Structure 1
């Protein structure tokens, strides 16, 4: 039997097992153990709700999940979330989230409701920025809201939202009275030879609470499974890397009286990495008699934030609760590339070594003000929870490139320039939402509407002379959702929602010229229109004593999709430009479930079975480097059919437990791959994109408390030492690419940690 057939058989059995067992809970008592659908979400409506009460699909990961599953980065975070992946390009590491085929800046990332910096990419490896500026040791919950969510989250939520919530002092302290808490944690991961140390201090003295968390990480490159390519000509191992990360979270919160609470938050994260780009040696088609000789990268990223908040329980005529926040945030990416190459010099040509530094800095600074209010209204036939608010933001973007020649036989000039102008964006958004309950709370209908406006402005200086006129965008977006509880166990939900995404300043103004035999010219396009989307999502849920289950179907349509489009070759210059394209659609099915085996079949108390499945497909309009349009072509950002099956046990004493997880991923069907982004010379030679084979991997984690205040945690990952590729990492690479082994995932690896709480 083929791997695909085995996967489909097990998927069917898993779904049937959970659905059948949960159905038997129809006449059962209410759940005595929390289920997946009993988790709390805030991102869906900006008010606290159980997952089984919202009209959208949301995945919640808690701090407890992060610790037990030994999560070290955002890639680990979504390891068991089908339909959600993370991209990794090697040099800059784990970058952007992909939710149901929407990735990069189409997915909104927030930390404590503060928007995170944008990602950007270019044709050159030293001009890239990812969005991974979060340390998970400081996070108490992560919510992944799938599908367009602009009505409550504004622009950039056209593909979904990943909302991080940082830990508070109260998470470590007793509910009342003066108290203190200290913990020390150390861990090691063999996949990247990473050592992690975290110290946590929390205190309450009277009405003042404080928290300080410091984390230090030292790591190497993430190992690949294989060595050299089968030809022996390309490097199959990851490029050597040294990484150091410092992260600090500090909080002060003061309960002024019964109605008012204020707080101050400070975050600082600094990452430095040095990479020997061995994979670049000999990889550049220069025509020189000797290959490129040396490439080194010295990169750093930094994020710092200061935030204030004030919570007020007023129960006034206009609002019952009010919360305002004010945050300053600065994010910076600095990439320094040192290279040596052979250049032809002199009237009697000879080859000499040229060496240069490329120092690129990209910085985003923002001020963000948020105001959110709620009001309860009770009427004879319905109850209303009205929420409304205002968001104001000013964001400044700055980039600078310095090229310095250390060895310069060809007489090239040092250069300081910008790839895009200095830019400032002022934005404002207002939303209004009403959660209306009918029929003794069996039916909840949630309409919502939002207005957004954006005004980008650019400046010229000595490093960027091209002037652009000021732009402005505005948009209304709405949603309408409903949840109906057929019984105490079964419910159904449906939602229509709209998404809205303003063009990235990088896409509007970025200009790059790469001098080659045929130069590459990425041209700016200040006239880009905002992206828009419409989404329909329907689902059924069961939530009872035996467990919970949810099955969801969705259909998303995107207009004015922004993609990099080839414009052809003019005067030996290959021109590209970001443009708006229409007719992009994504549809799919998802299932997740949990079955308490102790209730269903008398297994030891605390034993559960979990499963999740995600399938989707998409198509759009694209073009190749000849300028040929491909309509109704497959959308390459769609991940293959994925399923996760797990068996978990948590002892009633909470002293020990573990989890066994089996991840199954189908092969990427060649008919579901667009070759529009394969270079024309590859296409003419019969080239096509590499299609990842299917795979199954097994992971196991366990924790044990030998004494009350000490927790030991260990995990073994990819136990069967399977060689496999993630589709998101290799999409766009041709089958003829010699370095495919460099994109394989780690083989068998382990992680351990010990935590001491005082």
Structure 2
């Protein structure tokens, strides 16, 4: 599939969709069917708005979308969202979100407004922490805010926001009066042999509402396309894996009076996995002449949260509405790796020369514990016939970060030695943010202008001990962020929007203090003098929203200063693989264009009522500063975090009876062209001796999902994915790998697979 073909086809669809919507501008009848732009977002402005009234691009996925598309994890969640991807490394599974080329901790993830733990990736398989602590069975909506959003969400929103909103008791109950609800849901996915079971209970007794959701998942490894690798006999199948997940969400909410509502929320999620890393058997570990004889991983992640909130509808002189919440959260990643390898005959790590093998156990722990307080208020005023909606508030967070790396060397079932260390010091970070925003409505509600400003302050305090004895100087950071957005309605159907916004991100503790010395191999140096990352974004677009459907065309340009990247500083006889350090780099830019649309075919061409055509396309281009093999800075290098051109076309049908329907989705991804890949992002990577990264070929895959309600309270859902059994790779999973790497097949996506589920509501 060539890139020009996709561009011509889908830009034509974009123009056609907007043109047909414009032709309806004179219609006086309102649309009778909801469109993409009728969906509601809160994360974009902190106030409830429909998508066609905000000055930025936002994607909203509802619980109904999640169920009908059979999304089981965050990878599935963004399957049909061009411009948004999720990385997956096999052992730790689905990790962080990538929005328009910004990934990892540059994308803020929240659950009910509570910041989620940060990711850490040392490039070592035994030393990673991901950010996937969410079970989609408890999620009511997911909002993806694309581009810098620090004015509303503070630090870490430099690349965008993924905001999860959990289900409430009211989502299952009648609007008024006492009521009860119960449901059981079971599902199976062939891609990872996963069984899932979910039980839901909701109740309203007087003014008290309650909710309890429990989900159990048991799965195996996600299958690759299988077979031996095309470049050799290396393992091309996924490593065997056993996964068990428990997830609980509980809520109690009480209506004290017409003006006051209080509630408490409790969440607990635990994932445990055992992986037999067969792909590592026979591999020669770095710094050792003999290969691995075994490689076993036992990993676990856990997140616990308890929170309280209070909603107050006061309508006094200071505010109309007030919402405050206080949340305690603890997130923990524990990775245990057991490996056995041969050793050199020379003395190694103090072992006697008589030892011919060496068994090692690495136990890595990363934990974040936080207290988060949020206060948000809103006040609507009319001043000189101009409407104002002021929103303002503050956020305080106290976060404790802790990591511990314990390595035990074993011989003849006896512990022969032990090393305990921290890769970064224990730290407590206090942060405070204050924001003010005004939504100004002018010209008989045709023009909305939204200025906003925020101040953030961060004060980390590190703690040295015997495991990290190096004294470090703590640094505090503060920052002002601003934005200015506007939406203008040219007609009742056509509107335009534009926004200038700033982003801000503090340096991660690991980037500042992580240090590793492997004698004779590599040295990763700390850099406590890192400056915060900053960004400026310009976004403009055109929207159409009418009886035929909706469409949105968006252009964006983002510029980043003091971009934090790990750079190569050269090599010497002491560290032959090289010396690395995180540093601030300038001149990083990302630009692109996106389109999404929903056309009601019953209105447009007389198709059966409930038939729709959905389209989406995303294209981005990024340039930045990197280092080459000599350690010299290179400007205008391609950013390898940018995904190839992607488009999705979907034909959907929902029967007017709401008893059955389905979707046929066609995903098209262009090849990753070699001139769009920087070969210098990891200059000393020994898997790419010729600097030749693997460039993913283009592909097209077709999925189909359907649902049917044989009786009122039972819903059957089924889906078949990758119907044509296409072999393909996702760019985010393989970027940095050599085109001659023998394990490439291990990164392929699943071939033809299916999912089924049944839900019984009582």
TM-score, scaled relative to structure 2? 0.97
After superposition, where does 1:167-316 map in structure 2 within 5 Å? Answer: 167-285=167-285, 290-316=290-316
Structure 2: state its 5+ residue gaps: none
CA shift, 1:377, in A, is: 0.4
Equivalent position to 2:402, from 391, 394, 398: 398
Partner of 1:11: 10
Partner of 2:551: 549
Equivalent position to 1:564, from 563, 566, 579: 566
CA contact (8 A) 1:640 1:668 kept: yes
CA contact (8 A) 1:678 1:688 kept: no
Partner of 2:635: 631
Whole-angstrom CA distance in 2 between matches of 1:111 and 1:231: 43
Whole-angstrom CA distance in 2 between matches of 1:432 and 1:681: 47
Distance 1:13 1:720, change over 3 A: farther
Whole-angstrom CA distance in 2 between matches of 1:287 and 1:47: 56
Partner of 1:73: 73
- Matched residue SS, 2:456: strand
Partner of 1:34: 34
Distance 1:288 1:532, change over 3 A: closer
Q: Deviations over 1:418-461 (max 9, x none)?
A: 11111000000000000000011100000000000000110111
CA contact (8 A) 1:687 1:736 kept: no
CA shift, 1:290, in A, is: 4.8
- Matched residue SS, 2:75: helix
CA shift, 1:11, in A, is: 2.0
Pairing 1:618–2:622 present? yes
CA shift, 1:360, in A, is: 0.7
Partner of 1:441: 445
Whole-angstrom CA distance in 1 between matches of 2:435 and 2:336: 42
Whole-angstrom CA distance in 2 between matches of 1:428 and 1:288: 48
- Matched residue SS, 2:121: coil
CA shift, 1:20, in A, is: 3.2
Partner of 1:318: 318
Whole-angstrom CA distance in 2 between matches of 1:490 and 1:559: 35
- Matched residue SS, 2:234: coil
Whole-angstrom CA distance in 2 between matches of 1:365 and 1:60: 29
CA contact (8 A) 2:328 2:372 kept: yes
CA contact (8 A) 1:725 1:744 kept: yes
CA shift, 1:566, in A, is: 1.6
Distance 1:393 1:439, change over 3 A: same
Pairing 1:497–2:501 present? yes
CA contact (8 A) 1:381 1:439 kept: no
Whole-angstrom CA distance in 2 between matches of 1:177 and 1:231: 66
Equivalent position to 1:591, from 592, 595, 606: 595
Whole-angstrom CA distance in 1 between matches of 2:528 and 2:412: 37
CA shift, 1:261, in A, is: 0.2
CA contact (8 A) 2:287 2:521 kept: no
Partner of 1:536: 538
Deviates more, 1:285-294 or 1:368-377: 285-294
CA contact (8 A) 2:122 2:128 kept: yes
Structure 1: state its 5+ residue gaps: none
Distance 1:681 1:725, change over 3 A: closer
Partner of 2:611: 607
Distance 1:292 1:466, change over 3 A: same
TM-score, scaled relative to structure 1? 0.97
Partner of 1:746: 750
Whole-angstrom CA distance in 2 between matches of 1:143 and 1:289: 50
CA contact (8 A) 1:14 1:645 kept: no
CA shift, 1:32, in A, is: 1.1
Partner of 1:523: 525
Pairing 1:717–2:721 present? yes
CA contact (8 A) 2:305 2:330 kept: yes
CA shift, 1:626, in A, is: 3.1
Whole-angstrom CA distance in 2 between matches of 1:543 and 1:583: 37
RMSD value, Cα: 1.7
Distance 1:585 1:286, change over 3 A: closer
Q: Deviations over 1:245-279 (max 9, x none)?
A: 00000000000000000000000000000000111
Q: Deviations over 1:697-725 (max 9, x none)?
A: 00000000000000000000000000000
CA shift, 1:289, in A, is: 6.7
Partner of 1:662: 666
Whole-angstrom CA distance in 2 between matches of 1:571 and 1:678: 19
Q: Deviations over 1:295-345 (max 9, x none)?
A: 000000000000000000111111111110000000000000000001134
CA shift, 1:521, in A, is: 1.4
CA contact (8 A) 2:327 2:371 kept: yes
CA shift, 1:570, in A, is: 4.3
Whole-angstrom CA distance in 2 between matches of 1:59 and 1:152: 17
- Matched residue SS, 1:698: strand
CA contact (8 A) 1:90 1:238 kept: yes
Partner of 1:157: 157
Partner of 2:97: 97
Q: Deviations over 1:522-555 (max 9, x none)?
A: 1111111000000000000000000000000000
Whole-angstrom CA distance in 1 between matches of 2:729 and 2:717: 27
CA shift, 1:579, in A, is: 0.7
CA shift, 1:14, in A, is: 3.0
